[in-house]
Amino acid sequence: MPRTRLHIGCGPQTLAGWTNVDNRHYPGVDRVLDVTIGLPYSDVEYLFAEHLIEHLAYDDALNFLRECRRVLAPDGILRLSTPNLDWVLRTQYLPALWKCDDDAVRDCFVLNRAFKGWGHQFLYNRQSLAATLRLAGFGVVEECRYGESRHEALRGIERHDTYGDEDTGPHVLIVEASGRSSGAEPSTEAQIAEFRRAIDSV
């Protein structure tokens, strides 16, 4: 019997042979679900979430990733993609190229759009994404290239548009997480606590 493969936050870009899950009724969606309140699955072989966690508040994303670890089989793998904060900063906010105040104003709005546009809630760099996955319980975090994987079932499944990566690093972070960890470094916990205090003070 085939093992479960979950495509979470699929939107209209569903994958054949996968259980396609979204919070809206798109054609081809197998189950409409709010993933922030849990994943009613178990023993999942593969779980794929493309451009999803940046749309969740940090704590919701962390809880979602903990759920991913919980529902995956011991040998299960999470493939995750999200915009790369480093790429956003290098390509969207360029003070060295400003020739007038209009350039500075433009970059200010472009950068804020990257953070808050399209429903974005939190952007990750490579290090914070890996630390969050470890905090969620994953022991191994492996960086991947768009469309590439050591696992045949996870190759070529991305559907989002790509941008030029050659000079600025990848515009999107793609990782495969597996195994189990005991948590994140204390320094990560401290940074998260400070972030939560700032958010809660608003």
- Domains of the chain are 5-93+121-200 (3.40.50.150)
Dihedral over Cα of 130, 136, 142, 146: its sign = negative
pLDDT at 165 over 90: no
Confidence at residue 168, expressed as pLDDT on a 0 to 100 scale: 62
- For residue 182, pLDDT beyond 80: no
Give the integer Cα–Cα distance in Å for 88 and 183: 28
Cβ neighbours around 200 below 10 Å, total:
7
Give the mean model confidence (pLDDT) for residues 172-182: 94
Name the nearest CA neighbour of 144 among 58, 73, 78: 78
User: What was the pLDDT predicted at 23?
Assistant: 94
Secondary structure element (H or E) that encloses residue 44, with its range: strand 44-50
The string of pLDDT tens digits covering residues 90-143 is 989 999 999 999 999 999 999 999 998 989 999 999 999 999 999 999 999 999
Percent of the chain with pLDDT over 70: 95
Contact yes or no for 183/138 (Cβ under 8 A): no
